[in-house]
Amino acid sequence: MLSCSSICYDLERSLIFYRANTFRFCGFQEVITFMASITSAKRSSICRVILDMNDQGVRADPVYRTYIDWNSYLNSSTGVKEHTDAAVFLQECVDLQYLTCIFNFDKLWQSAGQLRDFLALIRYEFMNASRTKPSIWNIPTVDFLIYLDHHHRPIRLSQATSAVLDQHLPLQDSAHSLSFRCARAMLVSRQISLAIKSREMLLENEHVRDPRLETGRMMKLLLPPRYLQEAIRDAPLDFSGDDRAALDRMNSSAGSVSSRTRQQVERSKNVNQLGVIPPRPVAKYDAEGLVTWEIRKIGDIRFREGKFQCQVYFAPPAGVVWEDLESLFSCDGLKALRVYYQNFFRCTGTKLASRRLRRIRSLPTPRQVFAMARGWLAPLAEENKRLWKAIVRDWDALQTKHDAYLALLEGA
């Protein structure tokens, strides 16, 4: 019988754990530490991240908190370095769908002038972020959520507001000027949204592909490999348990790391030179007969001995093996099957159209593949309905592409 710790360990090693959960970090430092301690495949599977920047400062007492000035922090050498490294790891999350950055401006400690300067800083960063350097401003799924005073009125700077206000609206510092603060913040957020739209239209006219125009998954920004190497090298993974515990007890701690992550990174014998915990050897098939090895791609599909078989390219040292189609009905296997069909549908033109027509007729349709996989995906439909709807939508779209491609070949 498996123990609770072994079950949790096996669960954390599965990619569905990272795809289905929401990860909340307090500041850039926690993002760097956690992302550097997991593999690139796990980073690629993360879909939802909440970045709570309120715990980036110093906790003076249990009731009131003293926070740093965001203008000074984001423009300092420390802030720039931590922001760059965190952005590198976040841009490694190629399936990232929701990234929320939360800032809390309480009227008890934050002046209206600092709020105005911070909103101006966000607008400047949005408009001047370099496309060739890592930055959270370049991630198309980012959503800046600002809470004003103890009433927690949210203002989302990534969404356009419908308010049309006077640009010369005064911004006062008194406790009774909350309405003026909210109005001014909404005005600035509207200006930011309009500026972003204008920039997108300009880039579109110049035939430059802007990642914020993507409506589906986040397009992975092609950054030089040195950014990732520097971020992994500088990640704070080389600390002992006593030092980490002492740092967490300090009032000036810049951010705490969860005990589970701390226990993992303390085991130096399990961490390689890149700060990544290597996967331990696992069986090729699980209890349900599904492949558990890392799948790189699917090269071909054939019909042999009354069933479909797939040519699977596994990660080294496994190599290339022919596997039954039913053994690939895991999340990673279905993703590889979708990629295979999408690459097949990209072949256009009339040359060799008859051969491609015979080939596509010999393959199972995406609808048939998904119908065979429903039995294995039934638990997922009950546990995570949102993810289940997304999977169904992807396979329906793939079937539509299949029908259109088949009609194109038949008419050639």
pLDDT tens digits for 2-22?
566 565 666 666 777 788 888
Average pLDDT over residues 217-244: 63
The residue written with tokens 């997991």 in the block is 38
Average pLDDT over residues 164-174: 37
Band of pLDDT at residue 139, cut at 50, 70 and 90: confident
The pLDDT, as a whole number, for residue 312 is: 92
> Residue 213 pLDDT > 50, yes or no?
no
Structure token pair of residue 325: 């189609």
The residue type of 13 is R
pLDDT in tens, 304-322: 888 899 999 988 777 888 9
> Residue 55 pLDDT > 70, yes or no?
no
Residue 163 forms beta bridges with which residues?
none
Sheet order of strands, 320-324 included: 295-304, 307-314, 320-324
Structure token pair of residue 391: 């999977």
Q: Where are the domains of the chain?
A: 11-270, 295-411
> Residue 291 pLDDT > 70, yes or no?
yes
For residues 309 and 363, what is the distance between their CA atoms, to the nearest angstrom? 10
> Residue 48 pLDDT > 70, yes or no?
yes
pLDDT in tens, 344-372: 888 776 677 888 888 888 889 999 999 88
CB-CB neighbours of 312 under 10 Å: 23
Query: What is each CA distance from 338 to 22, 83, 321, 358, 364, in whole angstroms?
Result: 25, 35, 19, 20, 12
- 366-369, long-range: CB < 8 A, 24+ apart: 366/338, 366/341, 366/395, 366/398, 366/399, 366/402, 367/395, 367/399, 369/325, 369/337, 369/395
> Residue 178 pLDDT > 50, yes or no?
no
Query: What is each CA distance from 215 to 36, 97, 135, 140, 146, in whole angstroms?
Result: 28, 10, 20, 9, 24
For the chain, percent of residues with pLDDT exceeding 90: 4
Average pLDDT over residues 244-272: 48
Which residues are within 8 A (CB) of 120 and not within 5 positions of it... i.e. 6 or more apart? 188
Band of pLDDT at residue 211, cut at 50, 70 and 90: very low
Q: What is the dihedral of CA 62, 71, 117, 213, to 10 degrees?
A: -110
pTM for the whole structure: 0.44
* Exposure string for 146-182, b = 16+ CB within 10 A, e = fewer: bbbbeeeeebebbeebeeeeeeeeebeeeeebbebbb
For the chain, the farthest-separated pair of C-alpha atoms sits apart, in whole angstroms, at 80
Band of pLDDT at residue 289, cut at 50, 70 and 90: confident
Band of pLDDT at residue 51, cut at 50, 70 and 90: confident
Regarding predicted confidence, which is higher, 383 or 340? 340
> Residue 263 pLDDT > 80, yes or no?
no
Instruction: Out of 178-192, 253-267, 314-328, give the one with best mean pLDDT.
Output: 314-328
Whether 53 and 27 have beta carbons less than 8 Å apart is answered as: yes
Looking from the CA of 85 toward its CB, the CA atoms found within 13 Å total 23
Candidate from 70-84, 160-174, 280-294, 349-363 with smallest mean pLDDT: 160-174
The residue written with tokens 């038949």 in the block is 410
Band of pLDDT at residue 206, cut at 50, 70 and 90: very low
For the chain, percent of residues with pLDDT exceeding 70: 51
